[in-house]
Structure 1
Amino acid sequence: MPRQSGEGNPVPPLTPVTILQIAPELDTGGVERTAVDVARACVSHGWRALVASQGGRLVAELEQAGGEHVTLPLASKNPLTILANARALVNLIRSRNVSLVHARSRAPAWSALIAARVTGVPFVTTYHGAYNQKSALKGLYNSVMARADTVIANSHFTKRLIAERHACAGDRVTVIHRGSDVTGFARAAISDDRLDALRAAWGLGGHERVILQMARITPWKGQPVTIDAFARLDPAAHGDCVLILAGDAQGRGGYLDALRARIESHGLGERVRLTGHCADVPAAMALACVVAVSSVEPEAFGRAAVEAQLAGAPVVVSDLGAVPETVLAPPQVTAEQRTGWRVPPGDPGALAAALDEALSLDESARKALTDRARAHAAEHFSLHAMCAATLAVYEDLIPAV
C-alpha cells in the first residue's frame, strides 16, 4: 500500500514507480491489448509505464495513453537473441529505475526472467494461453511462465492447467480474468458514423444480418467450422445473412487460400467475407446479429465471447477451455438464465442449430438475453476490475509502495 502522511494522505515515492511490461510485439490480440490497458492504468495511478516489444499497431495508442515503447527483437525464439535481449533489459531496468517486470509471452519471458534476477526486481508473468506442450522440451520452454514471483492466470481453467503442468508454480498463482471496456462496448458509445464506416469497409448495404467471427485467421480458431455451419443455415429463413470473418492472417496465405476454396465449394460467394484486421471491435460487435466463437482448441480465456456479451450480440461458443467461465448456458444454468450458447467444438451441425436459434429469437427474447449477458459480462469481466487487481499484485511485490 502507498505510504501515508501524518494527515493520512498518500505520499508519492521518492522515485516514481516504473512498470516494465514485456511482449513479443504490440500489434493485435489479447496479449497486446491487455498490455496497453494495464499501461494506461499505471499512468492513471501516477506511475511510469514502459512496454518493450518489437513494435506494431498499438504503439501509437500506448504512447497516447502516456506510456513509453522500447523497441527490441522480443518476438525471436533464437537463444542468442534471447540472451542479447536479456542484456538489453538489464540495461533498461537499471537506466530507467524499473520497479517491476511483467512478461506476457514465453520467449521474451526468458529474457525478462534473466534480467529480473540479475537486477533483483520483482518478476510477474501472465499465463495467457493454453500453450502446446507435447514434449518435455516444450514443457521446459513453457515453464518460464510459471517461474515468476507471482503468476497471473487469466482464468480458472488456466490456473488448473498451470497446476497440472508446472509444479514449480506452487501457490504463487492468482486468477485475474481478462477485462474489457464495459462503457466502450455500450451501444450509446458507438456513433452511427463508426457503424457506417465499418459497413462501407465490409461492403454492406445496411439490410444484411451479420454473423461475425472476430478471431485471428489461424486453424485453431475454427473458421472452417463456421463456414460449414453457415452453409447449413436454411436460406429461406436466413438468406439475408452475411458471414464476416474478421481477423489478421499474419502471413498465413495458404490457410487463407484454403478458406476461400471452402467458401467456393459451398457456393457461398459474397455471402462470406474475409475482411482482415478490424481496428474498431466495438463497432463490429454492434453490427453483429450473432457472434460465433468456433475455436477447436481450448481458449485460455476467450475475449471475443465477453465483448460480444458486452455489445449486446448473442454469442455461440465452442464448449471447451475457459468458456464455461464466460458464457452461461444449459446445463450449467436454465435456458431462461443463459447468456449464450455452448456447442461441441468442431461440430458444424451443432453450431448451425445454435446460430439458427439465436437468429430466430423474437425481439423480446433477444432483449432479455442480451440484457442478461451484458450484466453478466460487466459484473465479472470489466477492464476496471482487471487493472485494479493487476496493480494490486504490483503493489504487493514492490517494496515501500
Structure 2
Amino acid sequence: MKPLKVLQLLPALDSGGVERGTLEIARALVSAGHESVVLSKGGRLVEQLQREGSRHIARDLGRKSPTTFLQYRALRRLFEQERFDIVHARSRMPAWVAWLAWRGMPAQTRPRFVTTVHGMHSVSRYSAIMCAGERVIAVSDTVRDYIRTNYPPSRWPHLADERITVIPRGIDPAEFPRDYRPSEEWLERFRAEFPQIGQRKVLTLPGRLTRLKGHHDFITILGKLVAEGLDVVGLIVGGEDPKRPGYAKEIRERVQAEGLDQRIVFTGHRSDMREIYAVSDCVLSLSSTPESFGRTVLEPLAMGRPVVAYAHGGVAEILRELFPQGAVAKGDVEAASRSVRSILAGKAEAVRANHRFLLAEMQSATLSLYSGSFKKHQSSTIR
C-alpha cells in the first residue's frame, strides 16, 4: 500500500487536548512514512509540528461567522491540488467547511472524510457535522454513547454503528512514568517560588480557571481538611480565561475571605505538570459537567498518584479501570473530603498500572482506521 497523504483540520494550534492529539497523530504519520499536513490559523505549536516533520497550511476556518462557510470553494481547490487521501476534521466549523468542499467533489476522486468527536457539544444541527464523517472516531465509550443517544440512525441514517470507532486518548508512559521523582534542582526552584508548600501534604486541581472545573468545590474541600487540623496545601494549576477574568477574581477573593491564602496557591499555566503530579499527594478532578475523556486524571494515575474525582463521563471510565476508590458522585464534597482524607492517611489501595489508555495504542488504531478507510475506498472505486 502506498504512503497516505493525510490532512487534519482544526481552528488553531495553541494548546489543549484537540491540539495535542493532532500533533500526536501527525508525529505517528511521519514516523510511519506517510505525509502529514495540518490546516489551522496557526499558534505556538506550529513550530513543534513542523520540527517533527509535518507541513502546516495557515488558514482560519475556526471563526464562527457566515463568511467562514464561503471558504469551501477555496478549500475544494486545495483538496483537488493536494490530492489528499484522508481529510480528518476535529472541530465543528472547520468540519462544516471541509464537508461542503468535500461533498462537491466526484465520489471516485475525493478523499476519505473522517471526523473525531472530541467533546459532548450541545445537540444541534451545527454540532451534528462532527458525526458526518464516513468514519467517526469517538474518544471514549462515553462519547460513543452520546452519539448513539443524540444522533440515532432513525434520524441520522448514515450514522450506523459500523461507522463509529472508539479510540480512547492515551499517554506515553515515558512522558508520565510510574513513580517518577523530580530532580532536586526542580524541587528547590518550585518550593522557592511557592514557599507556602513547605513540607505540607499537597492537593492539586489542574485545569484552566473556568467555572466548570470545580474550583469552588476544591476550596470547600481544602477548607474542611484544614479545619480538621490536616497540614495541607492546595495547588490550583491553570491559566485564567481571558474572556472571563471575573471568575478568576471571584475565586481569589473567596480564598482571601476564608483565610486560606497561605493554604491555596494559584500557579498559573505550567509546562511542568509531570513534576507537579509527582509532588502531589492527591490530584482532584471536580468538573461539574462530564468530560469526554479526562487527560488530567489519566496522567497522574499513570504515575501512580491517587486521584479523587467526580465519576461521570470519560473520567468515570478511567477511574473504573485504574483507581475505583477515587470515584465519588458529582458535587458530593463530603465524599470527596473523606476520600482525600483516607488517601492522606495512607489507607488507599495502590493505583493500578495503565495498560489501556496508551498513546501508542491510540496512534496505531487511528492509522489503521485511515488505512482501512483508504483501502475500502480503493476497492469500491475499482468495482
Against the structure 1 CA distance between its residues 28 and 201, is the aligned structure 2 distance closer, same or farther, given a 3 Å change threshold? Answer: farther
Report the secondary structure of 2:126's partner residue: helix
**Aligned twin of 1:10:** none
Structure 1 counterpart of 2:350: 369
- Structure 1 counterpart SS, 2:24: helix
List per-residue Cα deviations over 1:73-94 (Å, max 9, x = no partner).
Answer: 232111212332x334323323
Question: How high is the sequence identity, in percent, across the aligned residues?
Answer: 35
Query: Are the equivalent residues in 2 in contact too, given 1:76–1:82 (CA < 8 A)?
Result: no
Moved more, 116-125 or 291-300: 116-125
Q: Which amino acid aligns with 2:365?
A: A
Is there any run of 5+ residues in structure 2 with no aligned partner, and where? none
Q: Does 1:25 align with 2:12?
A: yes
Matched residue type, 1:90: R
How far apart are residue 170 of structure 1 and its match? 1.9
- What is the match of residue 380 of structure 1? 356
**TM-score of the aligned structures, taking structure 2 as reference length:** 0.88
Equivalent residue number for residue 269 of structure 1:
261
Aligned residue number for residue 289 of structure 2:
297
Q: Is the 8 A contact 2:196 2:263 kept in 1?
A: no
Partner of 1:245: 236
Whether the aligned pair in 1 keeps the contact of 2:179 and 2:278 (CA below 8 Å) is no
Q: Is the 8 A contact 1:183 1:189 kept in 2?
A: no
Q: Shift of residue 152 of structure 1?
A: 0.5
SS of the residue aligned with 1:274?
A: strand
Tell me what 1:160 maps to. Answer: 145
- The 3 A distance-change label for structure 1 pair 44 and 352 is same
Amino acid at match of 2:364: A
Deviation at 1:199, TM superposition (A): 4.7
Amino acid paired to 1:158: V
Partner of 1:345: 330
Residue-pair matches, total: 365
Equivalent in the alignment of 1:36: 23
Structure 1 residue 182: Cα displacement:
1.4
C-alpha separation in 2, matches of 1:264 and 1:103:
44
Q: Give 3-state SS (helix, strand or coil) of 1:379's partner.
A: coil
The answer to whether residue 43 in structure 2 is matched with residue 56 in structure 1 is yes
Quote the residue 2:135 is aligned against: 150
SS, match of residue 119 in structure 2:
coil
Structure 1 position 64, deviation (Å): 2.2
CA distance in 2 between counterparts of 1:200 and 1:76 reads: 42
CA apart distance, 1:265: 2.3
For the Cα contact (< 8 Å) 1:220–1:297, is it kept in 2?
yes
Contact 1:124–1:150 (CA under 8 A) maintained in structure 2: yes
- Show the counterpart of 2:68: 81
Q: Which moved more, 1:60-69 or 1:187-196?
A: 187-196
Partner of 1:356: 341
In 2, Cα distance between equivalents of 1:196 and 1:382: 32
Go from structure 1 to structure 2 and tell me whether the alpha carbon gap of 1:34 and 1:256 turns closer, same or farther (over 3 Å shift): same
Shift of 1:225: 1.1
Q: 2: CA distance between counterparts of 1:340 and 1:176? A: 25
TM-superposed CA distance for 1:388, in Å, is: 0.4
* CA spacing shift, 1:183–1:28, aligned 2, 3 Å: same
The alpha-carbon deviation at position 66 of structure 1 amounts to 1.3
SS at match of 1:275: strand
Match of 1:118 among 92, 104, 107: 104
Q: Deviations for 1:136-191, whole angstroms, at most 9, x for unmatched residues?
A: xxx10110011100111111111111011113222211101011111210157765
1:184 aligns with 2:175: yes
CA contact (8 A) 2:119 2:291 kept: yes
* Contact kept? 2:180, 2:303, Cα under 8 Å: no
Q: Matched residue of 1:369: which SS?
A: coil
Question: Cα offset for 1:237?
Answer: 4.5
Scaled by the length of structure 1, the TM-score of the pair is: 0.84
Asked if the contact 1:190–1:282 (Cα under 8 Å) also holds between the matched residues in 2, the reply is: no
Alignment check: 8 A CA contact 1:187 1:286 kept = no
Give CA deviations for 1:256-296 in whole Å, capped at 9, x if unaligned.
11111221222101321222222222222212111101011
Change in 2 beyond 3 A, CA 1:122/1:203: farther
Corresponding residue for residue 325 of structure 1: 317
Q: Indicate the SS of the match to 2:355.
A: helix
Residue identity opposite 2:357 in structure 1 = F
Greater mean deviation of Cα atoms: 29-38 or 49-58: 49-58
- Equivalent residue of 1:249, what SS? coil
Corresponding letter in the other structure for 1:216 = R
Q: Which residue of 1 is the match for residue 165 of structure 2? A: 174
1:132 corresponds to which of 111, 116, 122: 122
Q: Distance in 2 between matches of 1:198 and 1:75?
A: 37
Letter in 1 for 2:292: A
